[in-house]
């Protein structure tokens, strides 16, 4: 069960998007930009990724109001050399600068075969897979990396060294669902632990350790402690090099230079991102490649399963199926709904409060 799922409140996704967009607009974000960010956050909830959904809105708002997140719509291209581009995001919302990066990297990959955009002075961008899928829709293999503050110890250690730095890879496919792998490199996302804390639930002991490096099922202790890497030294090693790729190639923040997302809201987050696009047409006929991707995905979906297992999913299929099954309705925990109402109240958005309350039970 997803932490916080107990007692979930169903809310119409379109109304929720409108409310969240109104909240961002009230903070001085341009209307079109607010709509993009709101739609992305709501999409994560529709896809069952609540840790990257509208639960983030109050934190985003606080950072915008305190100036650590800028109201600009795009970053500045500070270096452009053939297939290597660097953007200084200027602390703008990650959903906006990531779209800028995707547009640039796809155009360049279409021209020369493959290209990369490194982003520095960035902010949280939601789910990495969203941008990888955007590239896949343009006949590119899309690879997206990002770094966070140190959250995980080295194997056997008791000090946070590497972030749970996400990686997403998406491939063009002629199938019904996007084929992608999208994951943070910890056993779970910190957002899921925060959801569990808000819901008063325990967490599995293999998710995190406390500040002394001891296993814990207490989400509060985990938040003060460290996440455990997925697959032990393998996950840690991959997270370690992703940090260097993102911060090193962009000239941006590395390791502890990236600040806590839920720390001082007046202090810029300063994360870095890396976007790589490989245009399939420069290697193989696009339809042929996409067809082979589809065929492999179907082999996974239709593969043999043991007794008691109802369904096997190919990479990316579960997220797609979850959204298809949502019926356009998000299911939020009570704490998230209340935090949105409180945020709307503080911003004087009485109409948005009413709209959100009316959307409950959709």
Residue 91: give the domain boundaries. 75-186+230-316
Could you read off the pLDDT of 316-328 as tens digits, one per residue?
A: 999 999 999 999 9
In a domain, 322, yes or no: no
Q: Enumerate the β-bridge partners of residue 114.
A: 278
CATH label of the domain that carries residue 281: 3.30.1370.60
170 and 211 inside one domain: no
**Mean per-residue pLDDT for 145-165?**
95
Query: Is residue 323 domain-resident?
Result: no
CATH of the domain at 204: 3.30.60.50
pLDDT tens profile 24-51: 999 999 999 999 999 999 999 999 999 9
Residues 6+ apart with CB under 8 A from 19: 340, 344, 349, 352, 355, 356, 359
Given a cut of 60, is residue 218 above it in pLDDT? Answer: yes
For 293-315, what is the mean pLDDT?
A: 97
pTM assigned to the model: 0.93
Q: How far is it, in rounded angstroms, from Cα 319 to Cα 162? A: 27
- Both 145 and 176 in one domain: the answer is yes
pLDDT at 295: 98
Torsion of CA 61, 130, 73, 244, to 10 degrees: 90
Average pLDDT score, the chain: 95
Do 54 and 155 fall within a single domain? no
Residues 293 and 169 in one domain: yes
Q: Is residue 13 part of a domain?
A: yes
Which spans in 67-179 are helix H? Answer: 94-112, 128-136
Domain assignment present for residue 256? The answer is yes
pLDDT above 80: residue 277: yes
Q: What is the mean pLDDT of residues 3-11?
A: 71
Burial of 259 (0-12, 13-18, 19+ CB in 10 A): middle
């Amino acid at each position: 069960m997803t932490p916080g799922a107990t007692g979930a409140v169903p809310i119409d996704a379109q109304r929720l998007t409108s409310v969240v967009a109104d909240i961002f607009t009230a903070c001085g974000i341009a209307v079109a930009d607010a709509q993009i960010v709101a739609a992305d956050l709501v999409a994560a909830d529709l896809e069952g990724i609540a840790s990257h959904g509208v639960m983030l809105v109050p934190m985003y708002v606080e950072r915008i109001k305190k100036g650590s997140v800028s109201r600009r719509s795009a970053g500045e291209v500070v270096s452009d050399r053939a297939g290597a581009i660097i953007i200084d995001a200027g602390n703008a919302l990650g959903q906006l600068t990531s779209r800028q990066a995707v547009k640039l990297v796809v155009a360049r990959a279409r021209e020369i075969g493959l290209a990369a955009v490194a982003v520095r002075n960035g902010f949280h961008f939601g789910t990495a897979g969203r941008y990888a899928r955007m590239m896949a829709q343009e006949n590119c293999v899309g690879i997206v990396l990002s770094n966070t503050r140190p959250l995980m110890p080295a194997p056997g250690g008791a000090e946070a060294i590497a972030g749970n730095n996400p990686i997403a890879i998406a491939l063009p496919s002629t199938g019904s669902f996007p084929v992608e792998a999208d994951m943070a490199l910890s056993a779970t996302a910190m957002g899921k632990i925060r959801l569990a804390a808000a819901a008063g639930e325990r967490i599995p002991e293999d998710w995190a350790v406390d500040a002394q490096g001891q296993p814990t099922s207490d989400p509060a202790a985990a938040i003060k402690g460290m996440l455990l890497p997925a697959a032990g030294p393998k996950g840690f090693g991959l997270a370690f090099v992703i940090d260097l790729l993102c911060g090193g190639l962009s000239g941006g923040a590395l390791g502890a230079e990236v600040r806590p997302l839920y720390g001082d809201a007046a202090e810029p987050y300063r994360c870095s991102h890396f976007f790589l696009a490989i245009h399939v047409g420069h290697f193989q006929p696009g339809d042929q490649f996409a067809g082979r991707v589809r065929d492999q995905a179907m082999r996974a979906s239709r593969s043999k399963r043991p007794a008691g297992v109802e369904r096997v999913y190919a990479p990316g299929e579960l997220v797609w199926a979850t959204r298809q099954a949502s019926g356009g309705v998000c299911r939020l925990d009570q704490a998230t709904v209340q935090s949105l109402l409180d945020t709307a109240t503080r911003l004087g958005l009485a109409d948005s409060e009413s709209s959100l309350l009316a959307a409950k039970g959709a």
